[in-house]
Amino acid sequence: MSRTVKRAFKYRFYPTDAQAAELARTFGCVRKVYNLALAARTEAWTLRQERVNYNATSAMLTAWKQTEELAFLNDVSSVPLQQALRHLQVAFTNFFAKRARYPSFKSKKKSRKSAEYTTSAFRYRDGRIVLAKMADPLNIVWSRPLPDGAALSTVTVSQDSAGRWFVSLLCDDVIEQAPASGAVGIDAGLDSLLTLSTGEKITNPKHERRDRTALARAQRNLAKKEEGSANRAKARLKVARVYARITDRRRDHLHKLTTRLVRDNQTIVIEDLTVRNMVRNHTLARAISDAAWRQFRTMLEYKATWYGREVIAVDRWYPSSKLCSACGALAQKLPLNVRKWTCRCGTVHDRDVNAARNILAEGLSVIACGGGVRPQRESSRTGQSSVKQENPRATKGIPVL
């Protein structure tokens, strides 16, 4: 059995000076149009309680191009500008559906630099991509092949804070949904990133800690540079490269981990954790952020949808650690520094393994009984989710792991 899904393939590329200049202009125009449209929609609602939709902002864009002040918008491809208006419409849709906050203005220094091209604004032939307003193809490093006969629907060009250029190609991909019969419970932690109900413990790589010395050195060097100077720009780039190295390693590790879990198990049970509240503990905030539990869950969810698997999130208040997985007795107190404990039935428990087994048992009982199960709050990206939750409180807008 197979399933066709929309999948993005991201590659690094190295633009020529002319291409870099053209893309930089495009990024600036995309940001300008987005901010103008957001200001117009906000003003219309504040002053006249009028909702402005995409079609109205598209007409505004045409008028803006005809003014002397904004005539420079004609120098770049119109497609990324129209896509910026569509992205703003999606942002407002998510806001009114209570899936996101009110859209904010894009900053020249802090916002992500990107531009999206649809089929009318690029040409893809024989592994060569030429964007609108450019004569030469992009010099892409094809680190992995595209699906056979891939028909690209969008091409998104971006530049990260470390100065690296990327191109993301969206196309249809056929994923083979091989049958799997296993079920696994997962307990997230800091010493062990994940503990499985099978007894396996996956070590936490602690990517940020590995580069903490280099990061501190780069940040001290940045702090000594004068505001607005060229040396400060160079120092800022060095800090960004350290962060990029940490992020890349973390993402690569989570991709490999989630892919293995999804391919080997039909049912995956996780604990519903409120990461936003947990990072308020300043003692553990840095380690929790480095563990990236939220990113792990996000990857697990969309890959489960691809492969036809089921992800279940159990109530965050479920006493998975204090409950004996052998006899069901509940321990009265179990401080965090206690990693092993003995139940009154005589069973010696590893705290994390016991929690993972209890999480699995609770998830399987949800499947068998179905009591109190309701779908997870819709994703702002897909509008749907494959995750089931036992706890109704988890659907009240609190970001969860």
| Active site positions, annotated | 187, 271, 352
> How far is Cα 12 from Cα 66, in angstroms, rounded to an integer?
36
State the residue for tokens 């530049």. 159
Q: 282 with 239: CB under 8 angstroms?
A: no
Q: How far apart are the first and last CA of the chain?
A: 30
Q: Which of 316, 311, 308, 354 is nearest to 334 (CA)?
A: 354
> Which residues, at least 6 apart from 260, have a Cβ–Cβ distance to it below 8 Å?
none
- Dig out the tokens for 329 from the structure: 């007795």
Q: Which of 154, 142, 153 is nearest to 114 (CA)?
A: 154
Look up residue 53 and give its amino acid. N
Distances (CA, A) of 38 to 59, 84, 115, 347: 14, 11, 17, 61
Q: 208 with 381: CB under 8 angstroms?
A: no
Report which secondary-structure segment, H or E, holds 268.
strand 265-271
> How far is Cα 131 from Cα 154, in angstroms, rounded to an integer?
11
Distances (CA, A) of 288 to 132, 186, 193, 201: 43, 16, 10, 17
Q: 172 with 162: CB under 8 angstroms?
A: no
Largest distance between two CA atoms of the chain: 82
Q: 116 with 85: CB under 8 angstroms?
A: no
Distances (CA, A) of 227 to 133, 204, 216, 223, 232: 35, 38, 19, 9, 7
Distances (CA, A) of 266 to 3, 179, 225, 276, 325: 16, 8, 54, 29, 22
